[in-house]
Amino acid sequence: MSIINHIEKYRKLKRTLFTTPSHSQGDFVAPETLKLLGQKFFTCDYSEIEGFDNLSSPIGIIKDAQSAAAEIYGAKSTFFLTNGSTSGIIAAMYALLTKGDKVVIARNCHKSVYNGLVLTGAVPIWLIPDYNSDWGIFESVNTDYLEEILEKNRDVKAFIMTNPTYEGAMSDIYRISSVCRKYNVKLIVDEAHGALWNFNKSLGTPSLIQGADIVVQSLHKTAGALNPSALLHISKESDINPSTIQNSLNLFTTTSPSYPILLNIESTINFLSSARGQAYLHQLSKNINRLLRTLKNIPNLQVYSYNNDITKILIKATNISGFELSEILFGEYGIEDELSNEKSVLLLTGVGTSKAKLKKLEKALVNLCLDNIKIANDSDKKSIDYYPIEPRVRYIPSVLWGKHSKEVDLKYALSRVCMEVIADYPPGAPLLLPGEVIKKEHILYLLNRKKTSIRVLL
Ligand SMILES: Cc1ncc(COP(=O)(O)O)c(C=O)c1O
């Protein structure tokens, strides 16, 4: 029986509990909390009472839920974590490493890996992933570089890396895992930011099916679960004993795990793996791709698109730093990013990112880039001078006849269908005709000619 079904059934029994937690399933909730959250959340919060289970040595509903999840993920074992990926990373390190053991660590790792080093006493050998100075971010792990390190250090026990990076850059885990196997090195992948990959392969390929031994994923980052829910998976191909991991987790995690988080982990996985969930993610990736196509057409704006997970939108603007772009987005548009650096700004999306939210970002960036930023890059400068712009015809004139139009600010005309003839003398040849798509080159040219609005198809 699922955790949710069990709780629903249990509530009907109307048992009288003299146990923790002392809010007695919502009989007491601090007044201000009650006002904000209501009582419902508390009614699902239990401890290890009769009929419930124990996360540190599961034999009942938690064991069933974890086994079902392992089946869905194709893992040997899956552990539910109510203390975030942080706890999974530390526990994996503690299970595999001891004082003095050598461990190769990709330099862009999360601070939990540093904490794991403190606790284990293992000796790090740092591997610097490729660095992209144009964007100010780390990218993939170079497999040859890893092999060089392992060749020189035959006694390395494990390699720990992040995939995808915070900014979505991906590494070739197939190749990395085969190098690790060659040198008998365990591969731990921090996939905190890739929790949707198992349910939508267009976003990325899960490290678990690419040969990693242990994969840790945060379900709260992209997959829509409560903070700080996460998973630790052991691969079917790995010889790591699940009980070693369980014992290690028990050293670092609470003895009072949150049932609201556990039931939310279970139901999030069930939803994402269902046909409805997959359709939902398909729609999400369509919406993000649509936005990215538009953003790529905005003058003075660049979008990071190499080998990356599209749920992480990394942008930069001509002439202003990432920090300044971040400040304008926040101060003028109320849009808060995940992080920014000198070069770029990172906007995280996930299962809960609505079309409306993406639209708001699009509008803000169109507005901001055309209004606040000087036209400075070479290709944009070039488009200020008239030159033949390849027309993109969406509708031929006869189809457009009688269709309605409206005047919009030029800032909002990008990618819309023009509904007027725009030509000037000289040269007289039309810049745009009705039925043609308005491109960023058109907007730059027209803004420079002090035109501020344009008629577009309704
Ligand atoms: C790459 C990476 N790994 C691990 C973590 C820790 O995840 P959690 O918040 O689930 O403990 C984070 C959190 O920001 C992260 O960015």
Which residue type does 251 have? L
Residue 414 has a pLDDT of 87
Q: Is the pLDDT of residue 378 over 80?
A: no
Q: Is the CB of 190 under 6 A from ligand 1?
A: yes
Q: Is the pLDDT of residue 66 over 90?
A: yes
* Contacts (Cβ under 8 Å, ≥6 apart) of 46: 7, 10, 21, 25, 52, 259
Residue 451 has a pLDDT of 84
Stretch 136-144: mean pLDDT, rounded? Answer: 95
How far does residue 91's CA lie from ligand 1's centre (Å)?
A: 14
Residue 428 has a pLDDT of 61
User: What pLDDT digit, counting tens, does each position of 317-355 carry?
Assistant: 987 889 989 999 998 899 999 999 889 999 999 999 999
Stretch 205-210: mean pLDDT, rounded? Answer: 98
Residue 426 has a pLDDT of 46
| Residue to mutate (ligand 1; options 221, 309, 339; most atoms within 8 A of CB) | 221
Residue 399 has a pLDDT of 84
Q: Is the pLDDT of residue 364 over 50?
A: yes
pTM of the model: 0.85
Phi, psi of 363 (to 5 degrees): -60, -45
Residue 160 has a pLDDT of 98
Residue 425 has a pLDDT of 58
Q: How many CB atoms lie within 10 A of CB 151?
A: 11
| Residue to mutate (ligand 1; options 85, 114, 217, 312; most atoms within 8 A of CB) | 85
Q: Is the pLDDT of residue 220 over 60?
A: yes
Class at the top of the CATH hierarchy for domain 276-374: alpha beta
Class at the top of the CATH hierarchy for domain 381-457: alpha beta
How would you class 195 by CB atoms within 10 Å of its CB: exposed for 0-12, middle for 13-18, buried for 19 or more? buried
Asked whether the beta carbons of 436 and 417 are under 8 A apart, the reply is yes
Q: Is the pLDDT of residue 449 over 80?
A: no
Residue 385 has a pLDDT of 56
Task: Give the position, in ligand 1's atom list, of the atom nearest the Cα of 88.
Answer: 11
Distance CA 445, CA 375 (A): 11
Q: Is the pLDDT of residue 163 over 70?
A: yes
Residue whose CA is at the smallest distance from ligand 1 atom 1: 110
Q: Is the pLDDT of residue 427 over 70?
A: no
Q: Is the CB of 85 under 6 A from ligand 1?
A: yes
How would you class 111 by CB atoms within 10 Å of its CB: exposed for 0-12, middle for 13-18, buried for 19 or more? exposed
Distance CA 336, CA 179 (A): 40
Q: Is the CB of 218 under 6 A from ligand 1?
A: yes
User: What pLDDT digit, counting tens, does each position of 90-127 carry?
Assistant: 999 999 999 999 999 999 999 999 999 999 999 999 99
User: ω before 427 within 30° of 0 (cis)?
Assistant: yes
Q: Is the CB of 166 under 6 A from ligand 1?
A: yes
Q: CATH 3.40.640.10 in the chain: give the residue spans.
A: 53-273
- Please tell me the CATH code under which domain 53-273 is placed: 3.40.640.10
Task: Give the position, in ligand 1's atom list, of the atom nearest the Cα of 218.
Answer: 10
Q: Is the CB of 253 under 6 A from ligand 1?
A: no
Radius of gyration of the chain (CA): 27
Stretch 246-272: mean pLDDT, rounded? Answer: 97
Kindly state the percentage of the chain with pLDDT values over 70. Answer: 95
Residue 384 has a pLDDT of 53
User: What pLDDT digit, counting tens, does each position of 273-294 carry?
Assistant: 999 999 999 999 999 999 999 9
Residue 387 has a pLDDT of 60
Task: Give the position, in ligand 1's atom list, of the atom nearest the Cα of 220.
Answer: 10
Q: CATH 3.90.1150.150 in the chain: give the residue spans.
A: 276-374
Distance CA 182, CA 176 (A): 10
